[in-house]
Chain A
Amino acid sequence: MSLLQRLYAPQAQEPGKGRLASAILLTVLAAIAILVPLLNLTVPADSAFHVPTYLVSLLGKYLCFAMLALSIDLIWGFCGILSLGHGAFFALGGYAMGMYMMRQIGDRGVYGNAELPDFMVFLNWKELPWYWYGFDFFPFAVVMALFVPGLLAFVFGWLTFRSRVSGVYLSIITQAMTYALMLAFFRNDMGFGGNNGLTDFKDLLGFDLQSDNTRAVLLASTCVALAGCYLMCRAIVASKLGRLIAAIRDDEARVRFLGYRVENFKLFVFVLSAMIAGLAGALYVPQVGIINPGEFAPANSIEAVIWVAIGGRGTLYGAIAGGVLVNYAKTVLTGVIPEVWLFALGGMFIAVTLFFPKGLVGSLPAAIDWVKRRIGKRNPPASSPLAEEPGQ
Chain B
Amino acid sequence: MSLRQWMRGGALRFLMVFWALAVLVPHSGASAAEDLGTLVTELGAASLSKKQAVVDRMVATGAPEVVPILEALVGRDLYTRKSDGVVVIGQKTSGGKLLLTDPLTGSEVGTVGSREVKRIKTNNRLRSSVKAVMGTLTLMSPDPQRRLEAADGLLKSSDQAMLPLIETALAKEADAAVKNALQLAKASIKLQSGSAEERLAAVQSLADRTDPESRVMLSRLLLKDGDVWREPDETVRETAGETLASMERRLEMWRTVEHLYQGISLGSVLLLAAMGLAITFGVMGVINMAHGEMVMLGAYTTFVIQEAFRSLAPGLFDWSLAVALPAAFLVSALVGIAMERGCIRFLYGRPLETLLATWGISLVLQQTVRSIFGPTNREVGAPEWMQGAMESVAGITLTYNRLWIILFSFCVLGAVLLVMKKTAFGLQMRAVTQNREMARAMGIPTGRVDAMTFGLGSGIAGIAGVALSQIDNVSPNLGQAYIVDSFMVVVFGGVGNLWGAFAGAMSLGIVNKLLEPWAGAVLGKILVLVAIILFIQKRPRGLFALRGRAVES
Contacts and interface: CB of A to CB of B under 8 A. Distances in A.
A39 interface: no
B361 interface: yes
A79 to B, nearest CB: 12
A353 B358 CA distance: 10
A353 B339 CA distance: 14
A255 B256 CA distance: 51
B287 A168 contact: yes
A322 to B, nearest CB: 13
Contacts of A177: 529, 533
A180 B537 contact: no
A185 to B, nearest CB: 10
B360 A165 contact: no
A171 B361 CA distance: 18
A347 B360 contact: yes
What DSSP secondary structure best describes chain A's contact surface?
helix
A342 B364 contact: yes
Interface string B45-75: 0000000000000000000000000000000
Interface in A334-392: 339, 342-343, 345-350, 352-354, 357
Nearest to A172: B487
A353 B526 contact: no
Contact of B360 (A173, A175, A353): A353
A345 B363 contact: yes
Contacts of B370: 339, 342
Contact of A187 (B287, B366, B523): B523
B276 to A, nearest CB: 16
A343 B363 CA distance: 7
Given A348-B360, A349-B360, A353-B360, A159 B534 contact: yes
A169 interface: yes
B491 A180 contact: no
A307 to B, nearest CB: 12
Contacts of A35: none
B362 interface: yes
Nearest to B281: A168
Contacts of A176: 484, 487-488, 529, 532-533
Contact of B367 (A82, A159, A168, A339): A339
B340 to A, nearest CB: 13
B410 interface: no
Contacts of B487: 172, 175-176
Given A175-B487, A186-B522, A342 B367 contact: yes
B353 interface: yes
B351 interface: yes
Contacts of B488: 172, 176
A163 interface: yes
Contact of B491 (A169, A179, A347): A169
**Contact size range, B:** 35 or more
A353 B347 CA distance: 8
A162 B356 contact: no
Given A165-B536, A167-B351, A342-B366, A350 B361 contact: yes
Interface stretch (A55-63, A137-145, A280-288, A298-306): A298-306
A168 B355 contact: yes
Given A186-B522, A349-B360, A353-B347, A343 B367 contact: yes
Nearest to B539: A163
Contacts of A298: 484
Contact of A343 (B364, B522, B536): B364
Given A173-B491, A176-B487, A348-B360, A354 B343 contact: yes
Contacts of A306: 356, 359-360
Nearest to B540: A165
A199 interface: no
Contact of A160 (B347, B371, B537): B537
Nearest to B347: A353
Interface string A122-166: 000000000000000000000000000000000010011011110
A24 interface: no
A183 interface: yes
Contact of B362 (A171, A346, A354): A346
Interface in B286-300: 287, 289
Interface string B334-347: 00000000010011
Given A159-B534, A163-B538, A163-B540, A302 B526 contact: no
A343 B372 CA distance: 13
A168 B371 contact: no
A354 B357 contact: yes
Contact of B522 (A173, A183, A350): A183
B363 A173 contact: no
Contacts of B346: 354
B530 interface: yes
Contacts of A350: 343, 357, 360-361, 364
Given A346-B362, A346-B367, A350-B361, A305 B356 contact: yes
Contacts of A164: 540
B525 interface: yes
Contacts of B287: 168, 171-172
Closest 4 A-B residue pairs measured CB to CB?
A349-B360, A346-B363, A346-B364, A342-B367
Given A176-B532, A180-B530, A183-B526, 8 more contacts: A163-B536, A167-B351, A306-B360, A349-B356, A349-B359, A350-B360, A353-B357, A354-B346
12 contacts: A175-B484, A176-B487, A183-B525, A183-B529, A184-B526, A299-B480, A306-B359, A342-B364, A346-B361, A350-B343, A350-B360, A353-B353
